[in-house]
Structure 1
Amino acid sequence: MVWFCLTLLGSMLPIPAGRTSLLRVLRRRHFSQIAASPSEELSRRNYANNISEYNTVVTSISSQRRYFLLRDVYDDMMLDGLQPTRDVFHSLIMGTMRGSRLQDAFFFRDQMKSMGLIPDLALYNFLISTCGKCKSSDRAIQIFEEMKKYGVKPNGQTYVCLLNACAAGGRSDQVMAIVRDMTANGVALNKFCYSGLIIDQKNKIPTTDDTVAKIIELVEQSKGWSAEGVANTAENSMLGVSEEELYNMPTAEYVFRRGIFLNRQLTIYHAAFHACADLRNVAATETLLEMLKNDGKTADVFIVMQVMRCYLHSGDLDKGLKTFEEYMESGKPPTIDLYVTLIEGAMVGYTPRGMDLAQETLTNMNSRNFFLSPRMGSDLLLAASGEKTGGFTTANYIWDMMRARKITPTLPAVEAYYKGLKDREIPEDDPRLFSVSKIYDDLRLRTGGPRQRTT
């Protein structure tokens, strides 16, 4: 009777995303018991029946970027009475790293240890990398000390992970201590180390007058780095994880992106251009362009994006647009990322000319059959919805483009758009407001939030 009540209760109430395992399993167990053929019903309702199948599910969830479901899959595995193997923990912790889910990463580590499984070198590197993505340098150092305590000897890759984890938080004291430790252990600095040092300079708080000068100096110093150190610091056998992803490089999401030409020999330049764009330092960006030219190298798509971003975020629409047009006229393959960079940058400050440029670029992009992904569309909608004056036409256009392809933006983007519409005192019976309100209501309900009144 208790099982039946819990199952009935679960079928009546909305289940917040993220903690659905128990009720899902209770439903599964209950219905399998009352079915005419229990074994057949259990097989039909279970999405995995053994460790191998669960590992496939974990891999699939990670590839879909639905990292918030990893704990649910693990809970279901436990309720099914299955013992996770080291390979399963590899997949789980790698997924938490990709999703920047620090709490889940430490949960899986603790579960491993409770089962008598000590994380190996690869898993410790994943954990340190996760700390870096979450800007938790102190936890990264704790992991580093723990692995030595358990007799797991760090390799060059571990040091680079740790260096970049500390650089993400702008902890120069820790970064330099790691560099000294690497040197003492005979580990040479490679391109990812120099990139980490550049990122550290950019992230230091407060930013000093010589920050940009040090970034330029590091680029110059890096020209002497030896590729011989790569074998020690980048044993790329990390289950399909790129070095850029493991070390939290700015180019991580572009390495294997189709349509993006990324020259991986320019890793240090990538970090430097990205840092200068974040700092909105036009002079430094132009200095880097001259250095790149003097080195006999050509800017790839990622560098062009950072140059555009620097100009646009500094308020120079003309140079940002010129950079975009020069690339498009160069005969190189166009990419949607360049369009999105121009649109996002044009909206900075919500100037009338910038918003017009953003909408014109959207129209041009659409006419060339480039379509916004759910992530890109949501990010642009969120940015466009911050416009407080004007006709709100850019936000409306982005919304219509996404809905025409049956794409629902993320909850933050929908919420911002909904509030932007409400701020314009649109009548309650307006079709657009009614449609947005309904989607906003459904998303809030799906994520466990209170239901939004639409009348």
Structure 2
Amino acid sequence: MSLLSNSLLLQGRLRDGAARGGDVDGGVQSPELRQQRLRVQHRLRPVRDTFHNLIVGAMKGSRLQDAFYFRDQMKEMGLQPDVNLYNFLISTCGKSKNSDAAIMLLEEMKAHGVKLKGETYICLLNALAATGRTDQVYAIVRDMTAAGLGLNKFCYAGLITAFKNKAPTTEETMTKIVEFVQQSKGWKNVERVSKDSSENIMMNVSEEELYNLPTAEYVHRRAFVYKQMTIYHVAINACADLKSKETLEVLLDMLTKDGFTYDAFIAMQAMRCYLQCGDIDSAVKIFEEYTSSKSPPAELYVTLAEGAMIGHTPRGMQLAQETIEKMTSRNFFLNARMGTDLLLAASGEKTGGYTIANYVWDLMQNRRITPSLPAVEAYYKGLKEREIPSDDPRLMNVSRVLDNLSIRFGPRRNSNAQA
């Protein structure tokens, strides 16, 4: 943003100086100097690739306002967005759950004669799916059919996501999810965007990220995601979000009959679903089956530990502590995100010795990792509820970290009043 702003500012000063017939500082400008200034101004103009990089960066950060700002600046400089850039903009709408903006971009493309590619339809389908707009998703499917385009796995992923996000959740929701998984098998060999992805590869954008799939952050991890199971990834993630154990078991049976074995993402989402439904035994079984034949990533331990703490039952808390200890013994270390998730879950414990929350805090402190402000607030509140002396070293340290985070990210939320 700063590079673009500096470039725009300097261009503005050069234009103003040229209009006055003087230099940037207001002095008299000779014809030769004026030509030199114009050449410099031309060289400073951001090129199309610059805007592509900026908009992709906004997309990755789900910053829709920034993406539209760069689009507007691009137009002001006489550069018309191309279809690839519109794809990135539409994807950003999906990440920001703003389907109206995605429709607006579609109308803008039509008004400027920008021809839609296969990717564009899928970006639109998944952007509309993010807000559960099933009627509009079906309209995109009809447009694709009318354009002679078949549905691939990313289209079916979008259909599943649309019904997952449609409110309220009904029996039809889970029935549709299973139906779409079954229907997708007939199109598994249809790859209609073979030439569309070259721009994405150059911009380091995976198809999973472009279409806002739940596997996007894991797809570059070795052996974490098997791409041929995309439909199962999206469907089983939906089961976890909707807490449907029955549908999960139907899908796991289908997956096995199709000759697949669990990858790390499938195991993680299946465990999350079982734990959300209060079925600790089934979650542990999935974990043990996976770890018996494959090396588990740290996320699998964190998923089991975090889910086991739901409800803060004695058994669940014991399982969570054992899981974190086992993870640590295998030289897995918590990053800021995983530590924050565990600390938030553990800090909700109202009775007991606060053992897990203290343990997670110590693990992060030993590696000089600071959790998020909400996690530190929750941990501090839990300590204060246990009537720990005000001069306790742990409490003083947490209070100091909380004050520092509050200064950086927001006011302290009545922590003392709650004490």
TM-score interval, normalised by the smaller of the two chains: 0.7 to 0.9
3-state SS, counterpart of residue 345 of structure 2: helix
Tell me the residue number matched to 1:220: 182
Match of 1:13 in 2: none
Q: What pairs with 1:110-189 in structure 2 (closer than 5 Å)?
A: 110-189=72-151
**Residue 341 (structure 2) pairs with residue 393 (structure 1):** no
> What RMSD in Å do the two structures reach over aligned CA positions?
2.1
Tell me the alpha carbon deviations over residues 332-376 of structure 1, each in whole angstroms, 9 at most, x when there is no partner. 122111101101111112212111211111111001000111111
Alignment-mate amino acid for residue 257 of structure 2: N
User: Would you say 1:328 and 2:258 are equivalent positions?
Assistant: no
1:84-107 residue CA offsets vs partner (Å, 9 max, x unmatched): 322221111111111111111112
Q: Does 1:381 align with 2:343?
A: yes
SS across alignment from 2:171: coil
2:39 paired with 1:75: no
Alpha-carbon contact 1:236-1:242 (below 8 Å) kept: no
Tell me which of 206, 209, 233 is aligned to 1:242: 206
Letter in 2 for 1:155: K
- Alignment size in residue pairs: 383
CA change 1:435–1:80 in 2 (3 A) is farther
Residues of 1 paired with 2:325 and 2:114: CA distance? 55
Q: How far apart, in 2, do the equivalents of 1:83 and 1:206 lie?
A: 50
Distance 1:127 1:350 in 2: 42
Pair 1:417 & 2:347 matched: no
Question: Which residue is equivalent to 2:215?
Answer: 251
Looking at structure 2, the residues matched to 342 and 451 of structure 1 have their Cα atoms a distance apart, in angstroms, of: 30
Instruction: Tell me which stretches of 4 or more aligned residues in structure 1 moved more than 6 Å.
Output: 450-455
Aligned counterparts of 2:254 and 2:58: Cα–Cα separation in 1: 38
Q: Which amino acid aligns with 1:344?
A: E
* CA distance, structure 1, for counterparts of residue 244 and residue 409 of structure 2: 40
Contact 1:276–1:284 (Cα < 8 Å) also in 2: yes
Structure whose alpha-carbon radius of gyration is higher: 2
Correspondence 1:266-277 to 2 at 5 A: 266-277=229-240
What is the aligned partner in structure 1 of residue 368 from structure 2?
406
The runs of 5 or more residues in structure 2 that have no matched partner are 12-43
- In the alignment, is the contact (CA less than 8 A) between 1:236 and 1:243 conserved in 2? no
Taking a change above 3 Å as real, the CA distance of residues 147 and 452 of structure 1, as seen in their structure-2 partners, is same
Quote how far apart the aligned CAs of 1:252 are.
Answer: 0.5
C-alpha deviation, 1:448, in angstroms: 5.7
Following superposition, the deviation at residue 131 of structure 1 comes to 0.6
Q: Name which of 226, 232, 237 aligns with 1:263.
A: 226
Gaps of 5+ in 1: 1-70
Per the alignment, residue 290 of structure 1 pairs with 253
CA deviation vs aligned residue, 1:47-79 (integer Å, no higher than 9, x gap): xxxxxxxxxxxxxxxxxxxxxxxx455435545
* Inter-partner Cα distance in structure 1 for 2:302 and 2:77: 47
- The alpha-carbon deviation at position 210 of structure 1 amounts to 1.9
> Matches of 2:192 and 2:304 in 1, distance apart?
35
How big is the shift at 1:243?
0.1
Whether the aligned pair in 1 keeps the contact of 2:117 and 2:196 (CA below 8 Å) is no
Distance in 2, Cα, partners of 1:402 & 1:326: 29
What secondary structure sits across from 2:56 in the alignment? Answer: helix
Residue deviations 1:268-293, cap 9 Å, x none? 11111111111111111111111111
Alignment partners' CA distance in 2, 1:156 and 1:286 = 33
Q: Any conservation in 1 of the 2:262–2:290 contact (CA below 8 Å)?
A: no
Paired with 1:358 and 1:451, the residues of 2 have a C-alpha distance of 29
1:307 and 2:270 correspond = yes
Q: Which amino acid aligns with 2:279?
A: D
Mapped to 2, the partners of 1:421 and 1:87 lie a distance apart of 52
8 Å contact from structure 2 (residues 119, 193) kept in 1: no
| Alignment-derived partner of residue 332 in structure 2 | 370
Contact 2:377 2:415 in 1 (8 A): no
Residue 229 of structure 1 aligns to a residue whose secondary structure is coil
Q: Distance in 2 between matches of 1:118 and 1:164?
A: 24
Q: Which residue of 1 aligns with 2:300?
A: 338
Query: TM-score by structure 2 length?
Result: 0.87
TM-score, normalising length from structure 1? Answer: 0.80
Contact 1:187 1:233 survives alignment (8 Å): no
Q: Which amino acid aligns with 2:219?
A: V
Counterpart contact for 2:151–2:190, Cα < 8 Å: no
Query: SS state of the match for residue 210, structure 1?
Result: helix
Q: Identity percentage over the alignment?
A: 63
Q: Alpha-carbon deviation of 1:414?
A: 1.7
Q: 1:163 to 1:414 in 2, by over 3 A?
A: same
Whether the aligned pair in 2 keeps the contact of 1:157 and 1:234 (CA below 8 Å) is: yes
Instruction: Please point out which of 313, 320, 325 is paired with 1:351.
Output: 313
**1:167 CA displacement:** 0.7
